[in-house]
Structure 1
Amino acid sequence: MSLRRVVRPAAYVVCVRAGRVLLARWTGPRGPEWTLPGGGLDHGEDPRDAAVREVEEETGYTVALDRLLTVDSVHFPDANWGRDERIDLQGIRIVYAGHVTGGTLRHEIGGSTDRAEWFDRAEVSTLPRVSLVDIGLAAADAADPGAHAARAR
């Protein structure tokens, strides 16, 4: 029996402020893992609008997008989809750099994440996290090579 094929586009934001990275804790099938704030596009939604919407939903912050950092693709040939369905999932992950423009940090209630928090860059490597965190931070460093060194001071 072949699984239903699903392509899921999603948009995420790398927010770094004073050497700290904003992350959201995803409550996925492997247990809680930290990820970049963001998520799936609604049908017909622009990825930039989805990124801004998702950050607000998951963290309470409003953000402005600075630039596109990278587009990443992942494939999960036997993924959980909801409670009872297995699917062949390809995720297209669009990652932007952005900065906080307003709002107050809060945790999402009833969504795919349960916490939002700022972490020192050095601390991120010790967290249980999805690969997208490392991909997004590497893309941010590549886009602005001197910024990481300046933030670390």
Structure 2
Amino acid sequence: MRRKLRVAAYAVCVRDGQLLLARSPGPGGLPEWVLPGGGMEHGEDPYDTVRREVEEETGYRIEVTGLLGVNSTRRTFPGRRLGRAVDHHGVRLVYEGRITGGALRHEIGGSTNLAAWQPLDAVPGLVRVRMVDIGLRLWRKRPVVGRVDPEG
């Protein structure tokens, strides 16, 4: 079994009761909302990753105002390439961000195709990835240990 480690950084940006989200085409073409962010490039600091990714996906520049926590997942994916299964370990750093410049726009040719502010009370009704809920729980609870139960 092939092993893969992916480290990523995401931002929770809340302004006037709304959460900044990006929309991904999702598996099977069903769009789903995600926190702006993504994978680190080799040699890149996660602090720089989250700032770069937010600007790429939403058009906004942010100031990182805090590290909310870390989320780790591990899943096995069936073999797609060369028939070998993949043991995937994702480590996701979640930052709080404040918009400092730029203008809302949609990413072209990237992993997302729409960026929007969503009312916090509307988020539970959106088709979204679990990471949105994890990020919001970290933002609301601000656990000293930097971790919340991903299930609840």
Q: Give yes or no for the alignment of 1:61 onto 2:60.
A: yes
In the alignment, the residues of structure 1 paired with residue 56 and residue 80 of structure 2 have an alpha-carbon distance, to the nearest angstrom, of 21
Q: Give yes or no for the alignment of 1:136 onto 2:135.
A: yes
The structure carrying a bigger strand percent of its residues is: 1
Distance 1:94 1:81, change over 3 A: farther
- Unmatched 5+ residue regions in structure 1? 145-153
- Within the candidate set 1, 25, 28, 1:27 is matched to 25
Q: Give yes or no for the alignment of 1:16 onto 2:10.
A: no
Deviation at 1:20, TM superposition (A): 0.3
Q: In 2, are the aligned partners of 1:79 and 1:88 still within 8 Å (CA)?
A: no
Deviation at 1:32, TM superposition (A): 1.7
Q: In 2, are the aligned partners of 1:29 and 1:80 still within 8 Å (CA)?
A: no
Q: What is the TM-score of this pair, normalised by structure 1?
A: 0.86
Q: Give yes or no for the alignment of 1:36 onto 2:35.
A: yes
In the alignment, the residues of structure 2 paired with residue 100 and residue 80 of structure 1 have an alpha-carbon distance, to the nearest angstrom, of 41
Q: Secondary structure at the match of 2:25?
A: strand
Q: Match for residue 147 of structure 2?
A: none
Query: What is the total number of aligned residue pairs between the two structures?
Result: 141
Q: Match for residue 150 of structure 2?
A: none
Distance 1:119 1:44, change over 3 A: same
Q: Which amino acid aligns with 1:116?
A: A
Deviation at 1:100, TM superposition (A): 0.3
Q: Secondary structure at the match of 2:57?
A: helix
Deviation at 1:74, TM superposition (A): 1.3
Q: Give yes or no for the alignment of 1:110 onto 2:119.
A: no
Q: Match for residue 95 of structure 2?
A: 96
In the alignment, the residues of structure 2 paired with residue 5 and residue 111 of structure 1 have an alpha-carbon distance, to the nearest angstrom, of 25
- Unmatched 5+ residue regions in structure 2? 144-152
Q: Secondary structure at the match of 1:43?
A: coil
List per-residue Cα deviations over 1:106-147 (Å, max 9, x = no partner).
Answer: 011111111100000010000000111111111111129xxx
Deviation at 1:85, TM superposition (A): 8.0
Structure 1 vs Structure 2 CA RMSD: 2.1
State percent identity of aligned pairs.
52
Q: Secondary structure at the match of 2:134?
A: helix
In the alignment, the residues of structure 1 paired with residue 51 and residue 87 of structure 2 have an alpha-carbon distance, to the nearest angstrom, of 28
Distance 1:40 1:114, change over 3 A: same
Q: Secondary structure at the match of 1:107?
A: coil
Q: What is the TM-score of this pair, normalised by structure 2?
A: 0.86
